Amino acid sequence: MTPIVFDDDNYKDVDFNFDFGNYNPDDIEVDETINAVFVIDTSYSIERYVKELNFAFNDFVEAMQKSHVADKLLVSVIEFDATVRIVTGFQPISKVQHFDFSKKLGGATSLYDATLKGLNSALDYRKNLENSGVETKTLLFIITDGEDNNSKNPPLKVKKIIDKIKQEERSAFSFTSILFGVGEQANFDKARTDMGIEHLAKIGATGQDMKKMIGFISQSINSMSSGKAGQGIDF
């Protein structure tokens, strides 16, 4: 897959955190990995449900560490508010620690910048793995409760990348993108369409909603593992 190159001038205010530490492809002992990148909104508005999000996400980590896909699942987490922060590069689920998304709550919402960064990071690492002889399937999960109001990049940049992926037959069946819109404060349909995200799930902000979302994410990962990317998407 051809790497996507971005104009650095568009990212002057984005914290790339280059020392995020992707797992060394040479240390991977399986023929295929499932790479899940989580792009998670940490603007001030998530304070109303961040406790429930923490519980649900950490339950997900514990459950997947015991699952049948644990040996090939790698996870990366990106947080965003006014800035974009790579919390962890792609690491085996067995090495992922608990998260607390309440630690760095910020103001504005750089949804497009964060999604672009998550997508680019996933594709770059995917290329590194494939160069090492490891086949890769990629899932992009975006969780937000607001509309973009701070990005330097337009949503069309995301859409062009996803459109290119879907046009490549080999890649189309090994990539899935899902936007989770929390609450009713934003036009998630427009965000999904403008960025070219394949699937949209609108949810509430209760603990039960967070648990259902994480269950759906687990199901999506299991479906990808069995070669059914994008099939049976029903939230």
- With respect to residue 41, please indicate whether it lies within any of the assigned structural domains: yes
Count of the separate structural domains present in the chain: 1
pLDDT of residue 226: 84
pLDDT of residue 15: 36
CATH code of 100's domain: 3.40.50.410
- With respect to residue 75, please indicate whether it lies within any of the assigned structural domains: yes
pLDDT of residue 13: 40
pLDDT of residue 21: 78
Give residue 113's domain range: 36-225
For residue 191, CA distances in Å to 56, 67, 144, 145, 156 come to 24, 33, 11, 11, 10
Q: pTM above 0.95? A: no
- With respect to residue 28, please indicate whether it lies within any of the assigned structural domains: no
- With respect to residue 31, please indicate whether it lies within any of the assigned structural domains: no
What digits encode the pLDDT tens for the residues 51-96?
A: 999 999 999 999 999 999 999 999 999 999 999 999 999 999 999 9
pLDDT of residue 20: 53
- With respect to residue 232, please indicate whether it lies within any of the assigned structural domains: no
pLDDT of residue 171: 77
pLDDT of residue 229: 55
Of 22, 145, 14, residue with least CA distance to 84:
14
- With respect to residue 7, please indicate whether it lies within any of the assigned structural domains: no
What digits encode the pLDDT tens for the residues 93-152?
A: 999 999 999 998 998 999 999 999 999 999 999 999 999 999 999 999 999 999 999 999
- With respect to residue 21, please indicate whether it lies within any of the assigned structural domains: no
- With respect to residue 218, please indicate whether it lies within any of the assigned structural domains: yes
Contact 143, 115 (CB under 8 A): no
